[in-house]
Amino acid sequence: MQQISKRLMSWASILEDTTRQQAATASTLPFIHPHIALMPDAHLGKGATVGSVIPTLGAIIPAAVGVDIGCGMIAVRTQLGRDDLPADRRPLREAIEAAVPTSAGAYNTEVTREHTVARIADLEAAAEKAELDPASYAANWRLQLGTLGSGNHFIEVSLDEDDRVWLFLHSGSRGVGNKIAQHHIKVAQRECARWWIQLPDRDLAYLVEGTPEFWAYIRELRWAQRFALLNREEMMDRVATAFAAWAGVDAVEPTEQINCHHNYTTKERHFGKDVWLSRKGAIDASAGVPGLIPGSMGTRSYVVVGKGNRLSLNSSPHGAGREYSRSAARRTFTQDDLRAAMGDIEYRDTDAFVDEIPAAYKDIDVVMEDAKDLVEVRHVLRQIVNVKGD
């Protein structure tokens, strides 16, 4: 851990100057308490750094949560091992791609399944309680439930250190969550301008606790976080069904399951005060709390348990963190480079994924070494099937 300033602490051994400066700028806001914690995977973001933990008193910064509200991971350990699996993994990948819409703008047509209907009803009830009409943001929000999206979102089938089979996926609140986030970022910018508040970066615009705008954001934020959680559960049900059919078993019997956010805000107590804690690319690593830290496409992922490091605000990294922007990765790497990096992992061979090549990300081994005071590793997962959207 390095103390960069009184209000900024870092666990990142790989940290670009622009990322450090962005975090330092955010740390100057007067309501930060006691400091911003930079995670090992920290990299440049919109206003606030991705891979940062931002505690605030009496205010909240919508951009510090991010535009994919509630983004996170879910993992299930199945009852099967490597020797129980068929040799040909391509049918499994194709079955998962058929069960879960995987690209930006792809929606579900299968919304009449019992578990899908129940989750939609849950979200409708939550929206009514939050005084929210999700259709005002996305008329087709119900069809977005159970969809993966693109970018760094993924579905994986992996083996742990004992060759036990895990199902693992990463996604969030989809288009409806994005539109909720974008709306409230604009509201915060408008309110700061209305009150002549000088900001070091307009994307650090904030809402003041107690105002109608603040509580409207909190209500809708919590709904989007619920959507993201249920979205992951919905996809996992579909992946588990496809996996069971391919493996020749009646159903997946989960022996472990973890579902955690890494883009969210919650109320927590730190250093003697109740704060709004925004984890933008970070997970809850309170003592004994299980979590998930995925590597990049083609590398390892980790099932961890938190150590409750007080200075890190009980947080840890959420993944490898980008070193190359998507455009820079496309200029630097080729589809052949990606093929070499993926080895014998079953994936859809397309140049659409070149910007997700492992070399575009920080070395996950370095990230986990930096995080050794934050989490304890319980399982190390290696991929055998990878599913992504264009």
Q: Is the confidence at residue 195, as pLDDT, over 90?
A: yes
Q: What is the pLDDT of residue 157?
A: 98
Q: Is 170 a catalytic residue?
A: no
Nearest to 243 by CA among 74, 71, 73, 84: 84
Q: Is the confidence at residue 288, as pLDDT, over 80?
A: yes
Give tens-digit pLDDT for 51-76: 999 999 999 999 999 999 999 999 99
Q: What is the pLDDT of residue 127?
A: 98
Here the tokens at position 356 are 């997700």
Q: Is the confidence at residue 375, as pLDDT, over 90?
A: yes
CB 375, CB 305: distance < 8 Å: yes
Name the pLDDT band for 389 (thresholds 50, 70, 90): confident
Name the pLDDT band for 108 (thresholds 50, 70, 90): confident
Q: What is the pLDDT of residue 152?
A: 87
pTM above 0.75, yes or no: yes
Q: Is the confidence at residue 113, as pLDDT, over 90?
A: no
Q: What is the pLDDT averaged over residues 308-314?
A: 98
CB 239, CB 96: distance < 8 Å: yes
Nearest to 23 by CA among 6, 37, 12: 37
> What whole-number distance in Å separates Cα of residue 103 and Cα of residue 234?
16
Q: Is the confidence at residue 111, as pLDDT, over 80?
A: no
Q: What is the pLDDT of residue 390?
A: 81
Specify the pairing of strand 290-294 against strand 164-171. Answer: unpaired
Q: Is the confidence at residue 154, as pLDDT, over 80?
A: yes
Angle, CA of 292, 377 and 381, to the nearest 5°: 60
Give tens-digit pLDDT for 337-358: 999 999 999 999 999 999 999 9
Name the pLDDT band for 105 (thresholds 50, 70, 90): confident
Q: What is the pLDDT of residue 300?
A: 93
Q: What is the pLDDT averaged over residues 164-183?
A: 97
Q: What is the pLDDT averaged over residues 206-230?
A: 98
Give tens-digit pLDDT for 249-281: 999 999 999 999 999 999 999 999 999 999 999
Q: What is the pLDDT of residue 167?
A: 98
222 membership: H or E segment, kind and range: helix 212-247
Q: What is the pLDDT averaged over residues 212-227?
A: 98
Count other C-beta atoms under 10 Å from residue 173's C-beta: 33
Nearest to 320 by CA among 276, 274, 360, 362: 362
Q: What is the pLDDT of residue 82?
A: 98
Task: Name the catalytic one among 35, 43, 262, 318.
Answer: 318
Residues in the chain, total: 390
Q: What is the pLDDT of residue 41?
A: 94
Q: Pick 295 or 96 by higher pLDDT.
A: 96
> What whole-number distance in Å separates Cα of residue 301 and Cα of residue 382?
7
Mean pLDDT over all residues of the chain?
95
Q: What is the pLDDT of residue 124?
A: 98
Give tens-digit pLDDT for 17-56: 999 999 999 999 999 999 999 999 999 999 999 999 999 9
Spell out the domains of the chain, with CATH numbers in brackets: 2-387 (3.90.1860.10)
